[in-house]
Amino acid sequence: MQGDLRRMWVIVFFDLPVGTKPQRTSAARFRNDLLNDGYMMIQFSVYARMCRAQEAVDKHIKRIQGFLPDTGSIRALQVTDKQYNRMSILLGKRVLEECQGDQQLLFF
C-alpha cells in the first residue's frame, strides 16, 4: 500500500482523576468527546480510532489536544492496521462490542 493510503490506528490511553464531581464531569466529557470523534472504547480508559492516512492521524491527535481536561495523564499511540490486528485479548471472553481491524465498519 502507498504511504498516503495506509490505514493507521490511534489508541488513546488515559488516567483521569474522578475524586470530585467536577473531575468526574471532566472525565466523562473527555470520553464523550472521544466517542463523538469516532473512537471506540477498547477498555474503560483505552479508546481507538482507525484513520486512512498519516494526515488523518495528525488531525485527530490535534483534535484531542483541543479537548484535553485540565488534569490527568493522556497518551496517544499510533500503530498500523497490521499491528492492531495482531492484538491479543488475553483474559476473559470476547464480547460482541469488541472488534479488530477489518471487522470495523468505516464511513468516509
Range 13-24 average pLDDT = 96
Residue 27 has pLDDT above 60, yes or no: yes
Residue 17 has pLDDT above 90, yes or no: yes
pLDDT recorded at residue 91: 78
pTM of this structure: 0.79
CATH architecture of 3-87: 2-Layer Sandwich (3.30)
pLDDT digits (tens, 9 = 90+) for 46-96: 999 999 999 999 999 999 999 999 999 999 999 999 999 999 888 766 666
3-state secondary structure string across the chain: CCHHHCCEEEEEEEECCCCCHHHHHHHHHHHHHHHHCCCEEEECCEEEEEECCHHHHHHHHHHHHHCCCCCCEEEEEEEEHHHHHCCCCCCCCCCCCCCCHHHCCCCC
Residue 105 has pLDDT above 70, yes or no: no
Range 9-24 average pLDDT = 97
Domain boundaries, the chain: 3-87
Which amino acid, one-letter code, is at 45? Answer: S
